[in-house]
């Protein structure tokens, strides 16, 4: 069942002429992991804000069309209802930290306090969420004494702990080291397996290819492509429009023109690239696959 | 102008020991990428180069200057620093004033300031935005303003802290071009990055750090090929390096050109 429905959604920020989103039609199923890619300025953050109710409730501006998320209609539900069902992690984690708490533990509990979760339950949920994202050792640190990567994990944890039905993430791994990035993707995959729906704006195509169910390519406020990672990430359109693509796809595309990639389908992951390049013809059959 | 770091130790006031005896020489005109997990000490290390941090023990020399004996303002004539978060360094009402601030403060004559500003704006593709307020630009372009404002200071050494974070493919290509031009101008460039593919494609020397120490330091192919050691500092080798290893290439490859060359050699036997 669709948990997110956008119908003919067009949105303009206050005092602007050009819509940031234009005629967006989109349905997301419960438990789906959807990645949103696009150049800077394509509308990725605006789409995140729309799903989280910040557009139009916080940013104002002019929204037309229909937005329905977790059974709420954007035109009817206020932001305080919205936050019970939808969580948003901001692109810059620094903007998200409350400034009202002295420790990471309290910071993560802040949202639960605000919705009146009992103290005992709160403790359990905060500890569980910190364990999941691997930050238990930061519990007593000040949120402001952390590195960018650590802050980013705290920001993500403080949203996960709310157990939203729909989790919206705006480049949640931008400040993480490579293996930290892979871990966060893993955590998000686990959440979707438990039934959470995730929409994530992200540039890191290699991990999208490995973890997401579906990819939406945004360009100039419109949906350019929408489909499986395989279909979207190997499209020639992405290269034309200046999207980032993985080195596996890019090098195989070049190899294909040189006759060194023999499959029809271009690869999107390391495994597919390794399999495909292993088929590249050798002079003698005995040489195949040897090194 | 060489950078010489000898047995550098640093402990933050809260007691966290961030660097444990770093020794390192970077020659004039070298371009170095620094990789390593969050909290490895990368930013702490480079903040010693312009005097933002002072050694707890050991010594940092920029040319013949010991950083303990020169102010941050003085060191700014030798070391430019592009912060990770552009918003930490922008404050002027238009782009050209912002970019002119550094060279003016270094006391260059007016004509030279203008020439340096124009050149920096051209290189960062900001010429048409010179009268815009930096905060009316997208974060992508604010990043380029931050870069331009440091380049315009014409220092022999330039540090980039995570230049590609949150940038799209087009802007990463712009930043790579800036670094290429700085290489041609014989500038020393030191770049901290988690973007290992960017590092592989733009730097000949790579340093991997972990827990306040240098783990690996050398030619990019040598360092980036060491999958097991890199994993201990939460770094994966570049995509094409991993693919080459998987296919059993004898040499380490990191760029598309190297990969395709190795593939066709192997194909021809």
What is the biggest distance separating any 2 CA atoms in chain B, rounded to whole angstroms? Answer: 62
Phi, psi of B172 (to 5 degrees): -65, -40
Instruction: Return the pLDDT at B112.
Output: 97
Query: Which pair of structure tokens corresponds to residue A261?
Result: 């990639």
Nearest to B72 by CA among B105, B99, B40, B42: B105
> B242 and A41: CB-CB below 8 Å?
no
Best of A177, A250, A252, A278 to disrupt the B interface (most B CBs within 10 Å) is A177
pLDDT bucket at A116, cuts 50 / 70 / 90: very high
- pLDDT above 80 (res A291): no
Q: Which helix (DSSP H) or strand (DSSP E) does residue A50 occupy?
A: helix A44-51
Digit-coded pLDDT (tens) for B47-72: 999 999 999 999 999 999 999 999 99
Rounded to whole angstroms, the Cα distance separating A123 from B192 reads 37
Digit-coded pLDDT (tens) for A2-20: 999 999 999 999 999 999 9
Among chain A residues, the shortest Cα distance to B254 is held by A247
pLDDT bucket at B90, cuts 50 / 70 / 90: confident
Query: Are B221 and B193 contacting, i.e. CB atoms less than 8 angstroms apart?
Result: no
Among chain B residues, the shortest Cα distance to A42 is held by B168
Nearest to B164 by CA among B178, B148, B175, B151: B175
SS3 A148: helix
Which residues are registered as beta bridge partners of A68?
A5, A73
Digit-coded pLDDT (tens) for B69-84: 999 999 999 999 999 8
Mean pLDDT estimate for chain B: 94
Residue with tokens 């760029």: B255
Rounded to whole angstroms, the Cα distance separating A157 from B226 reads 32
Domain extent listing, chain A:
2-233, 246-291
ipTM of the complex: 0.87
Query: Are A5 and A32 contacting, i.e. CB atoms less than 8 angstroms apart?
Result: no
Least confident range from B153-167, B227-241, B254-268: namely: B254-268
Instruction: Return the pLDDT at A125.
Output: 97
Instruction: Return the pLDDT at B268.
Output: 61
Residue with tokens 């903007």: A95
Instruction: Return the pLDDT at A285.
Output: 45
> A260 and B267: CB-CB below 8 Å?
yes
CB atoms inside a 10 Å sphere around CB A131:
11
Residue with tokens 């050792």: A137
Domain enclosing residue B257, as ranges = 238-269
Query: Which pair of structure tokens corresponds to residue B121?
Result: 């704006």
- pLDDT above 50 (res A275): yes
Query: Are B217 and B24 contacting, i.e. CB atoms less than 8 angstroms apart?
Result: yes
Closest-CA distance of chain B to residue A111, Å: 26
CB atoms inside a 10 Å sphere around CB A137:
10
Rounded to whole angstroms, the Cα distance separating A274 from B264 reads 15
- pTM, 2 dp: 0.88
Averaged pLDDT for residues A118-143: 94
> B38 and A150: CB-CB below 8 Å?
yes
Instruction: Return the pLDDT at B266.
Output: 80
CA B43 to chain centre: 10
Instruction: Return the pLDDT at A283.
Output: 53
CA A132 to chain centre: 18
For the domain with range A2-233, which CATH number is right: 3.30.450.40, 3.40.50.2300, 3.40.50.1970, 3.40.50.300?
3.40.50.300
Digit-coded pLDDT (tens) for B129-148: 999 999 889 888 999 999 99
Phi, psi of A134 (to 5 degrees): 70, 35
Residues 6+ apart with CB under 8 A from B10: B17, B18, B19, B41, B44, B48, B53, B55, B56
- With a pLDDT cut of 90, the percent of chain A lying above it is 75
Sheet holding A72-73, edge to edge: A21-29, A2-12, A62-69, A72-73
Digit-coded pLDDT (tens) for A191-238: 999 999 999 999 999 999 999 999 999 999 999 999 999 999 999 999
Identify whether B254 is part of a domain.
yes
Mean pLDDT estimate for chain A: 91
Best of A15, A18, A154, A178 to disrupt the B interface (most B CBs within 10 Å) is A178
- pLDDT above 70 (res A24): yes
CA dist B191 → B89, B161, B199, B200, B205 (Å): 17, 6, 8, 12, 11
- Out of A50-64, A84-98, A274-288, the most confident range is A50-64
Q: Which helix (DSSP H) or strand (DSSP E) does residue A169 occupy?
A: strand A166-170
Report chain A residues whose CB lies below 8 A from the CB of B169: 39, 203, 242-245
> A283 and B256: CB-CB below 8 Å?
no
CA A131 to chain centre: 21
Closest-CA distance of chain A to residue B47, Å: 14
> A39 and B139: CB-CB below 8 Å?
no
Q: Which helix (DSSP H) or strand (DSSP E) does residue B48 occupy?
A: none
Closest-CA distance of chain B to residue A166, Å: 23
Averaged pLDDT for residues B113-127: 97
Instruction: Return the pLDDT at B214.
Output: 97
Rounded to whole angstroms, the Cα distance separating A140 from A262 reads 55
Instruction: Return the pLDDT at A256.
Output: 95
Instruction: Return the pLDDT at B142.
Output: 93
CA dist A281 → A260, A288, B16, B162, B269 (Å): 8, 7, 55, 40, 10
pLDDT bucket at A288, cuts 50 / 70 / 90: very low
Rounded to whole angstroms, the Cα distance separating A224 from A23 reads 11
CA A150 to chain centre: 18
Report chain B residues whose CB lies below 8 A from the CB of A253: none
Number of domains in chain B: 1
pLDDT bucket at A177, cuts 50 / 70 / 90: confident
Instruction: Return the pLDDT at B221.
Output: 94
Phi and psi based region of residue A209 (left: phi greater than 0; alpha: psi -120 to 50; beta: remaining): alpha
Q: Quickly list H helices, chain B.
A: 42-46, 72-75, 95-105, 110-123, 139-151, 169-184, 196-202, 220-224, 227-232, 239-246, 256-268
Averaged pLDDT for residues A165-172: 95
Instruction: Return the pLDDT at A148.
Output: 77
DSSP category for residue A92: S
Structure-model confidence comparison of residues B59 and A289, the more confident one: B59
Query: Which pair of structure tokens corresponds to residue B251?
Result: 């040499």
Nearest to B90 by CA among B132, B34, B127: B132
Instruction: Return the pLDDT at B269.
Output: 54
Averaged pLDDT for residues A47-66: 94
Query: Are A151 and A92 contacting, i.e. CB atoms less than 8 angstroms apart?
Result: no
Please classify residue B39 by burial: count the beta carbons closer than 10 Å to its beta carbon, then call 0-12 exposed, 13-18 middle and 19+ buried. Answer: buried
> A180 and B169: CB-CB below 8 Å?
no
Best of A89, A179, A205 to disrupt the B interface (most B CBs within 10 Å) is A179
Query: Which pair of structure tokens corresponds to residue B34?
Result: 């620094």
pLDDT bucket at B118, cuts 50 / 70 / 90: very high
Instruction: Return the pLDDT at A79.
Output: 86
> A147 and B38: CB-CB below 8 Å?
yes
CA dist B241 → A178, A247, A261, B261 (Å): 15, 10, 18, 13
> B234 and A180: CB-CB below 8 Å?
yes
- pLDDT above 90 (res B265): no
């Amino acid at each position: 069942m669709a948990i997110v429905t956008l119908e003919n959604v067009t949105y303009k920020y206050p005092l602007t002429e050009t819509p940031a989103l234009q005629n967006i039609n989109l349905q997301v199923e419960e438990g789906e992991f959807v990645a949103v890619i696009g150049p800077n300025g394509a509308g990725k953050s605006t789409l995140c804000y729309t799903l989280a109710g910040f557009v139009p409730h916080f940013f104002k501006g002019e929204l037309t069309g229909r937005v329905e998320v977790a059974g709420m209609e954007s035109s009817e539900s206020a932001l305080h209802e919205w936050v019970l069902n939808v969580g948003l992690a901001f692109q810059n984690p620094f903007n998200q930290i409350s400034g009202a708490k002295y420790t990471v533990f309290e910071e993560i509990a802040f949202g639960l306090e605000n919705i009146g979760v009992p103290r005992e339950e709160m403790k359990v949920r905060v500890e569980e969420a910190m364990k999941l994202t691997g930050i238990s050792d930061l519990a007593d640190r000040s949120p402001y004494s952390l590195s960018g990567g650590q802050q980013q994990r705290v920001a993500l944890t403080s949203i996960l702990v709310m157990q939203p039905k729909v989790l919206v993430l705006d480049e949640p791994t931008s400040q993480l080291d490579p293996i930290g990035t892979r871990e966060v993707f893993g955590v998000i995959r686990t959440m979707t397996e438990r039934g959470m729906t995730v929409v994530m704006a992200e540039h890191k195509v290699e991990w999208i290819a490995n973890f997401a169910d579906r990819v939406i390519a945004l360009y100039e406020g419109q949906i350019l492509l929408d489909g499986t990672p395989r279909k979207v990430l190997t499209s020639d359109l992405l290269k034309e429009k200046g999207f980032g693509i993985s080195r596996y796809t890019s090098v195989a595309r070049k190899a294909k023109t040189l006759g060194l990639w023999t499959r029809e389908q271009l690869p999107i992951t390391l495994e597919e690239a390794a399999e495909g390049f292993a088929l590249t013809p050798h002079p003698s059959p005995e040489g195949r696959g040897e090194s | 102008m060489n950078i010489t770091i000898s047995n550098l130790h640093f402990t933050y006031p809260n007691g966290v020991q961030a660097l444990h005896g770093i020794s390192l020489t970077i020659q004039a005109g070298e371009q170095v990428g620094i990789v390593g997990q969050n909290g490895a000490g990368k930013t702490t290390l480079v903040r010693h180069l312009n005097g933002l941090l002072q050694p707890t023990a050991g010594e940092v020399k920029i040319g013949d200057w010991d950083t303990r004996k020169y102010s941050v303002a003085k060191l700014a004539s030798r070391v430019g620093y592009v912060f990770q978060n552009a918003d930490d360094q922008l404050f002027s009402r238009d782009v050209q004033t912002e970019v002119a601030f550094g060279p003016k403060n270094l006391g260059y004559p007016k004509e030279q300031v203008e020439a340096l500003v124009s050149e920096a704006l051209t290189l960062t593709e900001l010429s048409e935005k010179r009268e815009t307020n930096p905060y009316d630009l997208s974060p992508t372009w604010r990043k380029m303003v931050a870069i331009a404002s440091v380049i315009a200071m014409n220092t022999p050494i330039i540090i980039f802290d995570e230049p590609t974070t949150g940038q799209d493919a087009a802007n990463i290509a712009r930043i790579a071009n800036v670094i290429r031009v700085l290489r041609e101008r014989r500038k020393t460039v030191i770049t901290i990055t988690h973007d290992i593919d960017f590092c592989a494609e733009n730097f000949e020397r790579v340093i991997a750090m972990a827990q306040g120490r240098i783990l690996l330091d050398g030619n990019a192919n040598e360092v980036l090929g060491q999958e097991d050691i890199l994993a201990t500092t939460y770094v994966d080798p570049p995509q094409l390096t991993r693919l080459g290893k998987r296919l059993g290439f004898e040499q380490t490859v990191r760029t598309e050109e190297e990969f395709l060359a190795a593939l066709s050699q192997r194909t021809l036997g």
